[in-house]
């Protein structure tokens, strides 16, 4: 679930900027200049938030409730930045104040830098939000946003004082934000977070029904993770391109790391068809805050749709007999054959005693539905804590119906298997 702290931190910086900007405007600035430069400043601060979030630092995961949530905020902040930048562009006074030399003004690069920044921002945003573009193509093009950020800094730092007073109260805040943003940009752009990558060798590649289990043996230390967390998997060797995120499906105490990958596109197909034991893999993580053990509620409903089982698989594999939670695991798959690890789940549920497994197969007309849960669960829906992972339409539908039944949003935890 998206945590409030991170959003409040962004809101606090924006509020501080607005107070400083409106409270201490330079004498030479008319109301229109003050208003439109404020919008430009807000756009820049939102871009900075977006850049800072792309560092994937652990601290921000804590503030926002996980990397997937950080990427959601990254996307929304970027979109609003573009909207504010456009309004700033159309609203900012175009006529030069009296006494201003037009030739001297034309020599200042601020306007062309701003214009270029805006054009790239709008194109970049169009690309960023376009889900039809394949991820492997999308990722390098998204890097154009780094250029936009630098152009925007150039735009306001070279702006004449009649538009931007560098050493005004709000100007200093923007300069501090630019310094932080540039450090964050260099950090993410040059992949410094990759330094935390841990080497593994491939021990086995097991073909499952429409999925592949990859078993990894640590070269040195095993990574430290909690059930439900995910990591970026980067196969070493030619043609394997970028790292891909996968939930760790093994339990923390195991001496091997396991990922279960549904065959969805080029990369996951290549894993199934070409990945060989003995190869090298770098694993970067763990990330994510999909942690059912931390939740206050002891009565939990786990809803897994298809490959969305993986976080629950790790949780079940890690669970010890005597766990005081009461768990209903609803596992929705197309048909029994598609329900990977079903036998293991049944055996674990029988062994643990506190887990009720409810497999549902859509081919048999059984779907995960809130009205059915209401009928069959021993207690009212509002008394449970919900953890859901699966296809977006399924999660959105269940969430809507749970809210209709009065279940608090705070009791619903979801894991999205996509960042875009
Ligand atoms: C937090 C998280 C946990 C995940 N856990 C699992 C899991 O346990 N099992 C599983 O089967 N799948 C999981 N996924 C999904 C998995 O990452 C994608 O299915 C896989 O990367 C698809 O790659 P592809 O090239 O085969 O398919 P494509 O057809 O290229 O991509 C399919 C989808 O995956 C996204 N995607 C592709 N490449 C990347 C990438 N490098 N980084 C981020 N997103 C990408 C695309 O945006 C697209 O929506 C998880 C995703 C996330 C974000």
As a whole number of Å, the CA-based R_g of the chain is 25
**pLDDT digits (tens), the chain, 420 positions:** 667 899 999 999 999 999 999 998 887 788 888 999 999 999 999 999 999 999 988 889 889 988 888 988 999 999 999 999 999 999 988 776 666 676 766 677 888 999 999 999 988 888 888 878 888 788 888 888 999 999 999 999 998 888 888 889 999 999 999 999 999 999 988 877 666 789 999 999 999 988 999 999 999 999 999 999 999 999 999 888 788 999 999 999 999 999 999 999 889 999 999 999 999 999 998 998 887 666 556 899 999 999 999 999 999 999 998 888 999 999 999 999 999 999 999 999 999 999 999 999 999 988 989 998 988 899 999 999 999 999 999 999 999 999 999 999 889 999 888 876
Q: What residues have CB less than 8 Å from 185, skipping those under 6 apart?
A: 51, 146, 149, 150
Q: Tell me, what's the pLDDT at 66? A: 85
Model pTM above 0.85: yes
- Nearest residue (CA) to ligand 1, atom 1: 417
Q: How far apart are CA 369 and CA 402, in angstroms?
A: 9
Helix (H/G/I), strand (E/B), else coil: 21: helix
Best of 70, 418, 419, 420 to mutate for ligand 1, by most ligand atoms within 8 A of CB? 418
Q: How far apart are CA 34 and CA 238, in angstroms?
A: 53
CA of 214 to the centre of ligand 1 (A): 15
Selection from 7, 146, 172, 143 nearest residue 73 by Cα? 7
Best of 74, 230, 244, 341 to mutate for ligand 1, by most ligand atoms within 8 A of CB? 244
- Nearest residue (CA) to ligand 1, atom 21: 244
Q: Tell me, what's the pLDDT at 98? A: 66
CB 224 within 8 A of CB 174: no
Which atom of ligand 1 is the closest one to the Cα of 288? 1
Helical segments of 133-265, H only: 135-142, 144-157, 169-189
Which atom of ligand 1 is the closest one to the Cα of 269? 26
Q: What is the DSSP letter of 93?
A: -
Selection from 109, 118, 116 nearest residue 47 by Cα? 118
- Nearest residue (CA) to ligand 1, atom 41: 244
Best of 245, 273, 308 to mutate for ligand 1, by most ligand atoms within 8 A of CB? 245
Q: Tell me, what's the pLDDT at 100? A: 66
Best of 136, 265, 271 to mutate for ligand 1, by most ligand atoms within 8 A of CB? 265
Q: Give the burial string for 123-136 (b: 16+ CB within 10 Å, else e).
A: ebbeebeeeebebe
CA of 314 to the centre of ligand 1 (A): 18
Q: Tell me, what's the pLDDT at 133? A: 83
Strand partners, 333: 361
Residue 98 main-chain phi, psi, to 5 deg: -55, 140
Ligand 1 binding site (Cβ under 6 Å of any ligand atom)? 68, 134-135, 230, 242-247, 260-262, 264-268, 307, 310, 417-420
Structural domains of the chain, ranges and CATH numbers in brackets: 4-193 (1.20.120), 197-287 (2.40.30.10), 299-415 (3.40.50.80)
| 339-369 tens-digit pLDDT | 999 999 999 999 999 999 999 999 998 898 9
Q: How far apart are CA 340 and CA 165, in angstroms?
A: 62
DSSP of 236-266: -STT--S-EEEEB-S-TT-SSEEEEEE--SH
- Nearest residue (CA) to ligand 1, atom 6: 246
CA of 196 to the centre of ligand 1 (A): 21
């Amino acid at each position: 679930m998206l945590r409030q702290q991170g959003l409040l931190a962004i809101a606090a910086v924006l509020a501080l900027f607005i107070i400083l900007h409106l409270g201490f405007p330079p004498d030479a600035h008319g109301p229109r200049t003050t208003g439109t430069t404020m919008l430009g400043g807000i756009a820049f601060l939102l871009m900075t938030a977006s850049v800072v979030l792309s560092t994937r630092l652990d601290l921000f995961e804590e503030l926002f409730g996980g990397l997937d949530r950080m990427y959601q905020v990254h996307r929304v902040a970027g979109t609003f930045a573009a909207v504010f930048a456009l309004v700033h562009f159309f609203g900012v006074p175009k006529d030069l104040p009296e006494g201003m030399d037009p030739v001297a003004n034309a020599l200042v690069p601020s306007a062309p830098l701003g214009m270029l920044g805006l054009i790239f921002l709008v194109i970049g945003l169009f690309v960023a939000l376009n889900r039809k573009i394949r991820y492997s193509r999308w990722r390098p093009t998204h890097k154009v946003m780094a250029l936009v950020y630098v152009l925007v800094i150039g735009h306001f730092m070279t702006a004449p004082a009649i538009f931007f007073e560098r050493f005004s109260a709000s100007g200093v805040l923007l300069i501090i934000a630019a310094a932080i943003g540039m450090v964050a940009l260099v950090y993410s752009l040059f992949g410094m977070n990759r330094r935390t990558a841990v080497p593994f060798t491939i021990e086995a590649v097991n073909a499952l029904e429409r999925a592949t289990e990859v078993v990894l043996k640590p070269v040195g230390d095993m990574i430290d993770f909690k059930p439900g967390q995910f990591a970026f998997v980067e196969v070493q060797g030619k043609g394997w391109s970028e790292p891909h995120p996968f939930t760790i499906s093994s339990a923390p105490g195991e001496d091997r790391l396991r990922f279960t990958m549904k065959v969805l596109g080029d990369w996951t197909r290549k894993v199934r068809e070409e990945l060989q034991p003995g190869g090298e893999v770098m694993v970067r993580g763990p990330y994510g805050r999909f942690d059912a053990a931390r939740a206050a509620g002891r009565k939990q409903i786990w809803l897994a749709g298809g490959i969305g089982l993986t976080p629950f698989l790790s949780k079940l594999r890690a669970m010890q007999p005597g766990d005081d939670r009461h768990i209903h695991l609803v596992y929705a798959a197309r048909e029994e054959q598609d329900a990977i690890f079903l036998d293991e789940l049944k055996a674990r549920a029988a062994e643990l005693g506190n887990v009720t497994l409810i497999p549902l197969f859509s081919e048999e007309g059984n779907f995960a539905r809130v009205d059915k849960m209401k009928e069959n669960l021993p207690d009212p829906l509002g008394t449970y804590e919900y953890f859901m992972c699966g296809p977006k339409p399924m999660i959105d539908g269940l969430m809507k119906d749970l809210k209709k039944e009065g279940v608090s949003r705070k009791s619903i935890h979801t894991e999205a298997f996509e960042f875009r």
